[in-house]
A and B are shown apart, each in its own frame.
Chain A
C-alpha cells in the first residue's frame, strides 16, 4: 500500500486508502522520511518506538510503535468506505486518548493486528516482511 501522509500543522496521519498497512514501514518509517522533507522537523514528533533489538538465535525484540497522541497526533481514516488493517504493534502513547479519527461521510472499519509475542523471528532478505512476520505470529493465537 502507499505510505501514510502527514499533516504537521493539524497533526494528522492520514491513511490514503482502505486496505492493509504495515505500521513499521508505511506509517512509522514513512513518518521518518517525512520529517526530512522541507521544515517538517519543526512539528512535534509523531512516533517513538522501542524494540527491534537482537536477542540471538535469529530473534529480535518485537518492535512497538507509539503514536504521540499525547502531543495531538491522530491517525485519520481515508476518504473511502471499507476495511483497513494495520499490522504491527501500534499503540497510542496516551491510552486514555483516542488515536484514530474517522473521516466524515465515510465508513472505514479498522482492524489492528498486533502481536503478543515478545520476540520475532529475524527474516532474511528473501523472507517475510516485518508485517508478514507479524501476521504470521498471530496464527498461534487463532488456532
Chain B
C-alpha cells in the first residue's frame, strides 16, 4: 500500500483501507479530530487510484481542489483494474449498516460535458456503501467501468451545472452497473441548477433494482437516447427540482419517434414532473409493484384465485409519434396465489419539445380497482394506492362463498347435467372463476332452491352439448328435468323436451310447476288432472299403475280418479303451488254392473 507524489499527481497503488498514506506528501494537509477522524486535503494535486482504496467517511475525508479536466486526467481518476470504495457496509445477521458522512469533497467546477471531478475508467471500479461526495464538477463512469452502489449521496456543492454520467453502452457493460439497496441520492441543492443523472447508452441496466433518490435532481438521458430502464423505488418525494425527468431523445436515432425504449419509474414517491431537455422526443411510464397476499377468512393462503382489473380511461390516452397508449391495460389471471405480484401502470408520458401528453391510468385517488374470485370464495375487491415508495403489500381476504354446495370443484366441473339449483349455482361459479373478467357479482345467485339469474336469458336444454355454457346474454344448462326456482328479467326457455319443477319467473311472468303424485291407486285406474274449475286437462293416464306422477304448472287442480270397479272420485282444488303427494283410497263400487 502506498501513495506517491510526482509532478502534481498523487498515485495510489496496492491496498489502502484509509487515507493515512497521504500524510507527508507534497501539497497534502492533514487535519485530525480526536484520535479517529482525519481530513486529508490534497490541494490541487490530481489523484490517480491504481490499486484498491477505501475511504470510510466516519474516519476519513478527502478534499481536492484539483481543477476539473478532460478525460483521462480528471481531478480524481480510478484507473482500469483499480477500485475506489466509499463507505463500509457492515452486516450482522439480517441487519445492515452503511456508514454515513462525507468521503470526498471535490471543489472545482468544469464543463458539464467535457470536464470531470471524478472519473472511473473502463475496468475501473467505484463502490459505494454509505458515503457522500460533495463535488462541483461532473462524474464520468465510463463504459466498461464497474459501479456498485448501495448507498451514495452526491451533492452539488457549488453554483454550477453538474451530472453523474453513467456511460455503459453494451449489455456487458450495463451488467457492470448496479444501483441497489439505498441507491444513489442526487442533491443539487448547492446549485441553481439540477444535479443530473445522465445515461448515454440504450441498453437497460439490471432492471430489478436501479434505485435513485432525487433531492434536487433530474434524470436527463443523453441526446443519443436512453434505455428501457426501470428506476425502482424512485424517490422524488422531496425533489425540489422543477422536474424529475427531462426527456431528451426517444431512445435512439436522435429522433422524435418512439422506438420501444420506455423509461419506467417504479414505486415513485409522487407523480413525476416532466420537462424537455431539448427538442427531441421522450417517453416514459410510471408503475407500481403491488404484492397481494390472497387469504381466506381464516388467514390461510389461497392458491386458486382468479383476478381482474382494467385501468382507467381518463380521456387522455396517447397516440403520438408512434407511441400508442389508447388500449386498456387488463390485469388478469387464474389460479393465482397465495401471493400475487402485479406491476401496475400508473401513468404514461409522451412528449417532444414542449408538446407533452400525460395519460393517467388511475382514478383520481391514484387507485385501480382489482377484483378477485375463487370457486370457494366470494368476489372481493381492493383498490390499492399506486403512488408511494416501495412495493405495496396488500392482504386480500376472500370470504367463503356460503352458497357453494359442492366444495370439490372438480366434481362440479364433471357434472353432465345441472338438474338442481345447487348444481346450477356451483357450476356457474366455477365457470365464472375460470373465465373471470372483473364481474362485480356472480352470474347467478342462489337462495335455497331459488336461482336469481339477473337479466340473463336462461335455456334449459335436455340435449345441450355441455352442462353449462354462456354465450352473450344466454346461459344454457343441460337438464332433462330441472328442479328449483329461477328468476330472471330475461327469458326462460325449455328446449328439446326439458322440463322443470319449480317456479320460473321471467319477462313474461311467473310459471310454477310442481310435482303431483298420487299414491295408492288401484292399478288400471284412469286419472285425469284438470286446471281447477275448468275442463282443461293438464295431465292424465288411461290406465295407471299404483302411482301417478305429473308435473303441474297450475297452482291448483281438480283430480278425477275413475275405475269401473271403484267409485268415481273427484278431488277438487288440490293445491299444486308446491309439490303435492296425495294418498288415494278408492272404494269398491258395489253398485256398478257390467252391462
Contacts and interface: CB of A to CB of B under 8 A. Distances in A.
B537 A29 contact: no
B6 interface: no
Given A36-B562, A45-B568, A49-B567, A29 B595 contact: yes
A82 interface: no
B593 A29 contact: yes
Given A41-B528, A41-B562, A42-B530, A29 B594 contact: yes
A33 B562 contact: no
B564 interface: yes
Interface string B570-595: 10000000000000000001111111
A52 B568 CA distance: 15
A36 B564 contact: yes
Contact of B595 (A33, A41, A49, A65): A33
B535 interface: yes
Contacts of A25: 593, 595
B554 interface: no
B592 A29 contact: yes
Given A25-B595, A42-B537, A43-B535, A36 B526 contact: yes
A6 interface: no
A30 B540 CA distance: 22
Contact of B570 (A3, A36, A45, A130): A45
Interface string A12-30: 0000000000001110111
Contacts of B340: none
A63 B591 contact: yes
A43 B535 CA distance: 7
A51 interface: yes
B593 to A, nearest CB: 4
A60 B352 CA distance: 116
A43 B537 CA distance: 11
Contacts of A28: 591-592
A109 to B, nearest CB: 26
A26 B594 CA distance: 10
Contacts of A32: 562, 564, 568, 589, 592
Interface in A59-97: 60, 63, 65
B560 interface: yes
A35 interface: yes
Given A25-B595, A30-B595, A41-B560, A35 B568 contact: yes
A51 B564 contact: no
A65 B537 contact: no
Interface string B475-511: 0000000000000000000000000000000000000
Given A32-B564, A36-B564, A48-B568, A42 B528 contact: yes
A42 B532 CA distance: 11
A101 interface: no
Nearest to B592: A29
Interface centre among B560, B570, B591 (most CB of A within 10 A): B591
Given A36-B526, A39-B537, A43-B535, A63 B590 contact: yes
B125 to A, nearest CB: 104
Contacts of B530: 42
B593 A33 contact: no
Interface in B514-532: 526, 528, 530
A52 B591 contact: yes
A107 interface: no
A7 interface: no
Given A41-B526, A43-B535, A51 B590 contact: yes
B537 A53 contact: no
A63 B590 CA distance: 8
B169 to A, nearest CB: 97
Contacts of A60: 590
Contacts of A47: 568
A41 B564 CA distance: 13
Contacts of A53: 590
Contacts of A26: 595
B288 to A, nearest CB: 75
Contacts of A63: 590-591
Contacts of A33: 564, 595
A36 to B, nearest CB: 6
Contacts of A51: 590-591
A25 B593 CA distance: 5
A47 B570 CA distance: 12
A48 B595 CA distance: 18
Contacts of A52: 589-591
B495 to A, nearest CB: 29
Given A29-B594, A36-B564, 19 more contacts: A24-B591, A24-B593, A29-B593, A32-B562, A32-B568, A32-B592, A35-B562, A36-B562, A39-B537, A41-B560, A41-B562, A43-B535, A45-B568, A47-B568, A48-B568, A49-B589, A52-B589, A53-B590, A130-B593
14 contacts: A25-B593, A28-B591, A29-B591, A35-B562, A36-B526, A41-B528, A42-B528, A42-B560, A47-B568, A49-B567, A54-B590, A60-B590, A63-B590, A130-B593
Considering the complex of A and B, which 3 residue pairs feature the smallest CB-CB distances, nearest first? A52-B590, A42-B535, A63-B591
Interface of A: 3, 24-26, 28-30, 32-33, 35-36, 39, 41-43, 45, 47-49, 51-54, 60, 63, 65, 130
